[in-house]
Amino acid sequence: MHTLDQAHLSALPKSIVRPGYDRSKLRAGIVHIGVGGFHRAHQAIYLDRILSRPGHEAWGICGVNLLPQDATMAAAMKRQNGLYTVSEMAPDGSRTSRVVEAMVEYLYAPDQPQAVLDRLSHPDIRIVSLTITEGGYLIDEHGRFNLQHPSVAYDLAHPQEPKGVFGYLIEALDRRRKAGVKPFTVMSCDNLRHNGAQARRACVAFAKARDPELAAWIEREVGFPNAMVDRITPATDDATRQRLREMTDVDDAAPVICEDFIQWVLEDDFRNGRPEWEAGGVMITKDVSPYEEAKIRLLNASHTMLSYPAYLSGYRKVDDALHDPLFSGYLRDFLDQDAGVWLRSLPGLDLEEYKVTLLRRFSNRAVGDQLARLCMDGGSKIPGFLLPTVHAILDNGRPYHRIAFFLAAYDRYLRGGADEKGERYPINEPNARALLEKVIQSDSPMTLLGIPEIVGTQLPAHKGFVDLYLDLRKQLDARGVVATLTALEAKAG
């Protein structure tokens, strides 16, 4: 078993692909906040592809994690000098394993808060990228930033000792402003509609609560490019970690497994320079909106539509559920008849081919994505991924039975505590838990429909929808997911 760290990098097996640049010559020009599997399989891969190009020595990554639950990742990144392996799995079972060398620094904020602020404030850092989850931006359905959130309130009261992402960003930007240093670009890489605009809204609102002049400077001087990002990257559990060790012969404490598909569409709004990402396959465009709309309404929404029904029925892997004709048909109908009818094809993106490719990607047995991952944080995902389609369906008088079924399953999941085979599960809602607690404790399925932050206001006002939702909710308790969905699809068909 080969050790993975800088001292043993040259001794890795020849089967492990290396990027082909001199890592010792790199310095960090990007700070990435939220070092998890997706960033390491996506943005870092694109950067790894181009760091051998002339003039790119100043574009290495300094990885940063902020949360106590990131301690395990922090220990791995420090022990391995920021190195890790990514194994890209094709549907035919073939794979490519590579070591990613782009992360040349790593800081764990709970242990080194001032070091993180110093790094963010340094002129070398010209981009700060984010993967902090959809709910991490603290924006409600009305576009308002949550100034009452505990982390925000703490950081506003302790600006030189922040704990949350916006506390760090705004304090560092303020230091740069006062020192006459150009600001960094804030680049969101989360699955969030208009993610750059959302990051701007959050940063400006936080800054305005602290110093209106600072907020005005940020609005004027800081770039917040929008982006569409895509790569299925399951969480790496212990069993997967051991399987990857055996496959690669590398003792990696933080390996990543992902599909072989990858996509990044990025708006060119960088005020302080950027790498030549287009040379590594990134699509640079003036308007990301139509691409992110297609991806969020199709991929992210269909992931969410599958999650709770399939999990409750007893499935644990996405590919297993997609090989069940009932669930694959349910998703195909959602793509064709619910979400896809509002979209148009774009340059480089044929929608019909994209939908077929999605189902093939979901069915990839070599990836084995977890339904539990898809079930996480539904209270934050549903408003962004599903509500635009829901509103379009209701506004245009189209069938809404799949949406009613999905929400009935979500309510059953929140209050059931165990799947239909009796296996218990935790409710993992890190961002919307306070809102959903009333559902978890309630005996009425109408409680969920009474939370506009999650389901909007149109659904509870639509009598036909409410009646169908309540009927399906009763059927789920009496007959289970499979029988309820089978009867629903037969009736609708």
Calpha distance 362→302 (Å, rounded): 10
| pLDDT tier at 347, thresholds 50, 70, 90 | confident
Structural domains in the chain, CATH included, are 2-285 (3.40.50.720), 289-492 (1.10.1040.10)
| pLDDT tier at 348, thresholds 50, 70, 90 | confident
| pLDDT tier at 416, thresholds 50, 70, 90 | confident
Q: How many helices (H) and strands (E) would you count in the chain? A: 23, 13
Assess contact for 55 and 21: CB atoms under 8 A: no
Assess contact for 231 and 42: CB atoms under 8 A: yes
Calpha distance 254→331 (Å, rounded): 32
Calpha distance 226→196 (Å, rounded): 4
Mean pLDDT within 120-130: 98
Q: At what angle do helices 351-362 and 301-313 cross, to 10 degrees?
A: 30
Mean pLDDT within 88-112: 96
Residue located via tokens 């148009």: 344
450, pLDDT greater than 90: yes
Which two three-digit tokens encode residue 40?
A: 């390491």
Calpha distance 101→249 (Å, rounded): 18
Q: Express each pLDDT in 283-297 by its tens digit.
A: 999 999 999 999 999
Q: Express each pLDDT in 31-44 by its tens digit.
A: 999 999 999 999 99
Characterize the bridge pairing of strands 263-267 and 283-285. parallel
Amino acid 367: pLDDT? 92
Amino acid 193: pLDDT? 87
Average pLDDT, the chain: 96
Calpha distance 48→119 (Å, rounded): 21
Q: Express each pLDDT in 418-434 by its tens digit.
A: 999 999 999 999 888 99
At 448, is the secondary structure helix, strand, or coil? Answer: helix
Beta bridge partners of 108: 65
Characterize the bridge pairing of strands 60-65 and 103-108. parallel
At 205, is the secondary structure helix, strand, or coil? Answer: helix
Q: Express each pLDDT in 135-187 by its tens digit.
A: 899 998 788 999 999 999 999 999 999 999 999 999 999 999 999 999 999 99
pTM as predicted: 0.88
Amino acid 142: pLDDT? 81
Q: Express each pLDDT in 204-255 by its tens digit.
A: 999 999 999 999 999 999 999 999 999 999 999 999 999 999 999 999 999 9
Fill in the amino acid letter for 295.
K
Mean pLDDT within 269-284: 97
